[in-house]
Chain A
C-alpha cells in the first residue's frame, strides 16, 4: 500500500514538472501549428539564469527565480518577433529543422559560457527538508512542485475561461482565420501565448531541476519527453496536457519502481500503442 502511495506521490510531482514545462508547448503547437523542438531550451535558459544569479552574483533564490523567468519571457518575445513569426509559415519539416537549429544555438551558448556540467541552482536548504506525510517522508521540494503545478493549472484555467484574452486564444486555436477576420489581433495573441509558454517552461525547468537536472544538453535530452506529453495530451488542450503529464509521470515512476530495467521499454511501448490507437492524443480534436 505504501508502495502505491509512494509511486503516486513521486509520479504526481514528476508529472507536475512535465505539465509546467509542456503546457506552453501544447498551446503553441495547437495555436500556431508549429512543431517547436526548442521549447525545452526555455527551461534550460531559465535554469542557467538562476545558476548565474545565485552562484556567481550571490542573489537569493527567490528573487533570482523571478528575474530568470522574466528574462526568459523577454528572450522569447525577441525570438518570436525575429524568428518564430517566419517559422509559422513553414511546412512541418522546415519547422522541425529551424527549431532544431535554434535549440543547437541555445545549447552551444550555454555550453560556451557555463560548460556542459550539471548546473547547481543554489536552491534554499528548506527544499531538501523532509516532511512527514504519515506513510513516508517527502522532501519539501516535492510539495512545492505539486503546489506550483496546481497553481499553474488554476491560473491557466482562469486565464482561458474568465478573461477576454482567453476567449481570443480559444477562438484562435479553434479557427485562426475566422478569429482574425473577426478582428482579433492574432499576431498579438500568438506573441502572448508564446511568451507565457516560455515563461512557464522556465518555471518548470527551475523548480524541476531536482528531478531533471539543468545542463547544456537539457533541451535535447528531455525534448522527447515533452513532445510525448503534448502528443499524448492532444495539441492545444490544457486539460489534456495535465492528464497526460500526470499519467505519464505515474506510469514512468511505476515502471521504474516495479520493473527496474524494462520500465523504460514498457513506457515507450505504451506511448506507441496509445498514439497508434488515438493519433490525436487523449483530448485532441481531429484536425
Chain B
C-alpha cells in the first residue's frame, strides 16, 4: 500500500502541458497584439521586456517573500554588460543576452550574500544602497560606461545569423516575446519543483522551514541569483532593442515601479506579473501622453486602492467578485 503522504494526487501532478500554459497564452496574446497594433511595436516590445523583469521580481518577492527595492541593480548590470559586449566584442544578440544574464547573476550573488542575511527595513535599505553604489560607479567610470551620457550606438547583428533587426521593430518584438515565453516556461518549471515548494515554504514561515531541515539562506541566495539572471536578460534585451544604456537603468524609481507593477497584478502568480505590467505600462502611456504631471496622481490612487481594497492584486479580482455575487444572491 502506498503511503498517502507520498502519493501525488492526479490533479496536482504537473503535466508538460500545464507548464506550457503561461508561455502559450503570452504567445497568443502577443500575436493578437502584433496584428491589432502593427504601428506600436516598439511600445509593445517595451511592455514585453518589462514583463520579463517583473516576472524575475515575482520569483523573489512572490515566491520567496523577499521584499527589495533594488531590483534595478541586476537589470542595469545586464544592460551595461550586453551593451559593452556588442560595442567591443561581438554584435551577436544571443551572446549579449547570455552575458547580460551572467552579469545579473553575479551581481545578485555578490549583493545577495550580504543582503539576504538581513530582513525588513535593513534589507530594503541595503538593496537601495547597492543600486546607488552601482549608479554612482556607472556615472564615474566614464572611460567604460560613458558616464552620465551612457552607452550609445549599440548595434546588434542579425538574430541567429538570419534575421536582421528592422526599423519597424517586428524582429525585436518577436525576439522579446520568444524570450518572455522561454522565461515563463523556466519559471513555471522552477515553481513546480521541490525547490519552488521550498521557496513557498520560506515565504510562509522561514523558521518552520529551517526546523524541517531546509537551508533557508542558501535557497534564498539561489533564487536571488536566478532572478538576477532573468533581470539581467531583461536589461540586456532593453539595451539591444533601444540601442542605448544610460545610468537611469539604476534609478530608484525603476525598482519601485517593478514592485508596483507586481503588486498591482498580484504577487506570487506569474499571471499577476503579466497583468500588472500590462496595466501599469498602458495606463502610464495613456496618462503621460495626456498630462505627464497627473500620472503621479493616477498611480498614487491606483496604489492606495490596490493596497486597501485588493491586497492580492488584480488577478484576485474575478474570485472576489464571484464571492460577492454568491453572497448577495
Contact = CB atoms under 8 A, between A and B. Distances in A.
A108 B293 CA distance: 6
Contacts, number: 127
B317 interface: no
Given A92-B120, A228-B129, A98 B140 contact: no
Nearest to A280: B122
Interface stretch (B178-186, B240-248, B256-264): B256-264
B308 interface: yes
B114 A276 contact: yes
A83 B303 CA distance: 13
A231 interface: yes
Contacts of A98: 303-304, 307-308
A196 to B, nearest CB: 21
Contact of A268 (B124, B133, B300, B311): B133
Contact of A227 (B117, B128, B140, B253): B128
B177 interface: no
Most chain A Cβ neighbours within 10 Å, of B61, B114, B118, B296? B296
A86 B308 contact: yes
Contacts of B128: 224, 227
Most chain A Cβ neighbours within 10 Å, of B132, B263, B267? B132
A92 B67 contact: yes
A96 B295 CA distance: 19
Contact of A265 (B133, B252, B306, B311): B133
A77 interface: no
B297 interface: yes
Interface stretch (A45-53, A60-68, A99-107, A178-186): A99-107
A90 interface: yes
B130 A272 contact: yes
Nearest to A87: B307
A96 B137 contact: no
B89 interface: no
Interface residues of A, number: 45
Nearest to A105: B300
B69 interface: yes
A97 interface: yes
A56 B277 CA distance: 42
Contacts of B174: none
B136 A104 contact: no
A102 B114 CA distance: 31
Nearest to B257: A100
Given A98-B307, A265-B133, A276 B293 contact: no
Contacts of A272: 114, 126, 129-130, 133
B205 interface: no
A235 B122 CA distance: 10
B121 interface: yes
Interface in A249-274: 261-262, 264-265, 268-269, 271-272
Given A100-B260, A268-B136, A108 B296 contact: yes
B294 interface: yes
Contacts of A231: 121-122, 125
Contact of B67 (A93, A271, A280): A93
A233 B296 CA distance: 31
B121 A29 contact: yes
A52 to B, nearest CB: 18
A94 interface: yes
A279 interface: yes
A112 interface: yes
A86 B295 CA distance: 25
A203 interface: no
Interface of A: 29, 35, 83, 86-87, 90, 92-94, 96-98, 100-105, 107-109, 111-112, 116, 220, 224, 227-228, 230-231, 235, 261-262, 264-265, 268-269, 271-272, 275-276, 279-281, 287
Given A97-B259, A104-B303, A227-B124, 7 more contacts: A83-B304, A96-B259, A107-B296, A227-B121, A231-B121, A268-B129, A279-B117
27 contacts: A29-B121, A92-B120, A94-B311, A97-B259, A97-B307, A98-B307, A100-B300, A102-B304, A104-B299, A104-B303, A105-B304, A108-B295, A108-B297, A220-B253, A224-B132, A231-B125, A235-B121, A264-B132, A265-B137, A265-B140, A268-B133, A272-B114, A275-B122, A279-B117, A279-B119, A280-B122, A287-B120
